Amino acid sequence: MMPTAPPPNFTPQMDTFQQQQFTRSGGVGGIRRCMFRNTFVWMRNGNAFWFFPIFVAGNQIVGFRWRGNRGWVYDSINRNNVLFFQCY
């Protein structure tokens, strides 16, 4: 199911407290609770973007990545490369 609207019109900020809570709550394994929801993802390489996860299999998170003028684009990300995420 592809998202029908753009993501929220803001860029979330990640703070140290959120990272600590995230680590205690199971880390990236908890991405399933964000299925079919706008999710902001921070990657270990410094990239950050809106993602709309629709499927999780092993280390792959499959969904749609927001590309601005191009809209939502089908994509997958490696779970091991995710530093933190927050769903809305």
Summarised one tens digit per residue, pLDDT across range 28-41 is 668 889 999 999 99
Question: Does 22 map to a domain?
Answer: no
Sequence length of the chain is 88
Please compute the mean of the pLDDT values over residues 2-21 and round it to a whole number.
81
pLDDT at 29: 66
For residue 71, the domain's CATH number is 2.30.30.100
Question: Does 32 map to a domain?
Answer: yes
Distance CA 53, CA 63 (A): 4
Count: domains in the chain: 1
Residue 81, SS3 per DSSP: helix
